[in-house]
Amino acid sequence: MRFLLPYSLTFALAALTASLPAHEVWIEDTTDGKLVVRFAEYGEEYEKSPGHLDSLKTPEAWTAGEDGKPKAFEVQKKSDHYLLVDAKPENGAQAEAAFAVMKRGDTPARKPIFYARWHHAKAGAATPALTFDIVPTANAGEVQVFFRGQPVSEAKVNVVPPGGVESELTADKEGKLKIDASKPGNYLLYCKHQREETKGYSGGAAYDAVSHNASLLLKVAK
């Protein structure tokens, strides 16, 4: 399926490399009240350092300051996560991370980029702040998908409720969809691998495309 944006860029869905199937990057809270960036197949063992966690470049992470401008977090690599220093779960947070350029056989080289958002349901609506973003609206349980500030019509969004079974939902023409968020806990929503055919260089390596991946971890309190 293709998403046609007003400025005539065309995107297609693509899969991650076979070596890391279904892996996502997301922000979650810890039992001691911190926020961390995880990398794994959600619900499975976290990637660690040394290991696959090292293939993910240190994320940039921030929250909205009192003046509305981004306020960056110090980010520290730990054994199985990246810690957002002084981040508080009751506040929102966003992060962006990337891999080095990937190339498998004769397939075109690509650069994977991951965008992650943490949001407490009590905070209400949010506005796009990531290139590829899943944003809570003012309606309970409703989110909207954006790419480069434009709604993504009929976006495919995977939803993992707390203790539940993963499902795939389709957004409407405005990129909106609603989930049942009546149970307390963490809800992971993610969009898989929107591919942008654009050439460039990263770390001295050429690539032919960028794959964009978005996640939202929505916290619903008891």
Four-residue CA torsion sign, 76, 35, 60, 40: positive
Output the six-digit token pair for 109: 């080289």
Q: How far apart are CA 42 and CA 99, in angstroms?
A: 18
* Interval 115-162: pLDDT, tens: 999 999 999 999 999 999 999 999 999 999 999 999 999 999 999 999
Average pLDDT, the chain: 88
Kindly report each contact of residues 131-140 with a partner whose C-beta sits within 8 Å and lies 24 or more positions away, as own/partner.
131/96, 131/212, 132/191, 132/194, 132/212, 132/213, 132/214, 133/214, 134/189, 134/190, 134/191, 134/214, 134/215, 134/216, 135/216, 136/216, 136/218, 137/176, 139/178, 140/181
* Interval 182-213: pLDDT, tens: 999 999 999 976 789 999 999 899 999 999 99
Q: How far apart are CA 130 and CA 135, in angstroms?
A: 10
The domain total for the chain is 1
Which residues have CB under 8 Å from 38's CB, separation 6+?
Answer: 25, 26, 27, 28, 46, 47, 80, 81
CB 49 within 8 A of CB 40: no
The pLDDT, as a whole number, for residue 43 is: 87
Provide the 3-class DSSP secondary structure of residue 123: helix
Instruction: Write out the residue range of the structural domain in which residue 145 sits.
Output: 2-220
The pLDDT, as a whole number, for residue 1 is: 34
What is the residue-wise DSSP string for 138-154?
Answer: SSTTEEEEEETTEE-TT
Q: Which residue has the tokens 């990937």?
A: 102
* Interval 48-98: pLDDT, tens: 999 999 999 999 999 988 888 899 999 999 999 999 999 999 999 999 999
For residue 138, count CB atoms less than 10 angstroms from its CB and return exposed for 0-12, middle for 13-18, buried for 19 or more.
exposed
Count the alpha carbons within 13 Å of 30 in the hemisphere toward its beta carbon: 15
pLDDT band at 14 (very low <50, low <70, confident <90, very high): very low
